[in-house]
Amino acid sequence: MWIAIIAIFCAGVGNFAMHRAFMESDDPLVQQMLKPMTDKVGPNITYVFEFLLLVGAMAIATRNWFTALMVYGLYTIFNAMAFSWVTNRPK
């Protein structure tokens, strides 16, 4: 269980780094997606959502470590694919 929690935490650090790069990018697609939500709730709400996903995955890992590790691992993989696509697509 502890190895799964540590692995989820390390993946969470990577997710937060990718999330910050998304938020600080000047890509028009990212800005267009974020503008409606940040205008209504605030610019940091997406960080709160990212944190809740991490805490939820770590909480699930205390009961069922394999499921939590697989689900958060898939989330990290899809997040990395989206990050790669947005940063490498032609402008």
pTM for this prediction: 0.86
Confidence of residue 77 (pLDDT cuts 50, 70, 90): very high
Instruction: Please give the mean pLDDT across all residues of the chain.
Output: 91
Give residue 78's pLDDT. Answer: 96
Q: Which domain holds residue 57?
A: 1-88
**CB-based contacts of 22, cutoff 8 Å, min separation 6:** 30, 83, 86
- Residue 26 pLDDT exceeds 90: no
H or E element: which one contains 78? helix 65-88
> What's the whole-number mean pLDDT along residues 51-74?
95
Domain count within the chain: 1
